Amino acid sequence: MSRRKKLYEGKAKILYEGPEPGTLVQYFKDDATAFNNQKHATLEGKGVLNNRISEFVMVSLGRIGIPTHFIKRLNMREQLVRKVEIIPLEVICRNVAAGSMSKRLGITEGEQLPRSIVEFCYKNDDLEDPLVSEEHITALGWSNPQEMDDMIAMTLRINDFLSGMFAAVGIRLIDFKLEYGRLYDGDLVRTVLADEISPDSCRLWDMETNEKLDKDRFRRDLGNVTEAYAEVARRLGIMKENNVVSIDEGSK
């Protein structure tokens, strides 16, 4: 496995060439970054947790008919996925005001929104992923109206499903970020969910206490980051009690 070709190393994951054409291996690192890489740390066990949580979420979404890039988990840190052409957008869905939306619009964090909101950021680290409108996206050719409709419909469906899934284990889904990709099949192009869904890409609050169980623990120096991710995994029934680092088969 170690002689596979590395195609890309990002902030949280590494992509390797997969065993078959059209596949990739996604390796989940323990690195945590925030504020466009200005803050960086290694959180032992985070990659293992995100691999498992994202697998669970992708498989669950597949079962309700959401097309995803996920094929199978290979080991504690890696999953096999279909290689897609990433649409250069971060699709954000919000149920409760938080983070950049609270800051930008002066809405108190934690305020329930009158309806779920889908927004788009242009995926470009040099520009710090700026918020863009559908007009920008279609005019500049990052996507087209049909693909946008597909992404919005899928995102709202994912939101409903995940809100219910997390509510069942006492967690409020505040907001989350998705990435979609294009899968070419002859003349056909399908829009599929890609990347990951994990506490790195969602805001998850305990329903009773509002305790944060997501990456804000790292961004805001709240401590116990991996413990919070492990709590999410435990509640979803993915991992056994307090079994965080020991479940790691060892880094690859």
Q: Does 84 bind ligand ADP (CB under 6 A)?
A: yes
Q: Does 46 bind ligand ADP (CB under 6 A)?
A: no
Nearest residue to ligand ADP on Cβ basis: 10
In the list ligand UDP, ligand ADP, none, the entry touching 195 (Cβ below 5 to 8 angstroms by class) is: ligand ADP
Distance from C-alpha of 8 to C-alpha of 26, rounded to nearest angstrom: 10
Per-residue contact string for residues 157-196; x = within reach of ligand ADP by CB under 6 A: ----------------------x-x------------xx-
Q: Does 78 bind ligand ADP (CB under 6 A)?
A: no
Nearer to ligand ADP, 172 or 176 (CB): 176
Helices (H), the chain: 46-63, 99-105, 134-139, 145-167, 216-219, 225-235
Pairing relation of β-strands 39-42 and 31-34?
antiparallel
For residues 14 and 29, the answer to whether their CB atoms sit within 8 Å is yes
Q: Does 15 bind ligand ADP (CB under 6 A)?
A: yes
As a whole number of Å, the CA-based R_g of the chain is: 18
Name the 3-class secondary structure at 68: strand
In the list ligand ADP, ligand UDP, none, the entry touching 86 (Cβ below 5 to 8 angstroms by class) is: ligand ADP
The answer to whether the Cα torsion of 171, 175, 177, 180 is positive or negative is: positive
The residue length of the chain stands at: 252
Q: Does 119 bind ligand ADP (CB under 6 A)?
A: no
Q: How far is the CB of 229 from ligand UDP (least distance, A)?
A: 13
Binding site for ligand ADP (CB under 6 A): 10-13, 15, 24, 69, 81-84, 86, 179, 181, 194-195
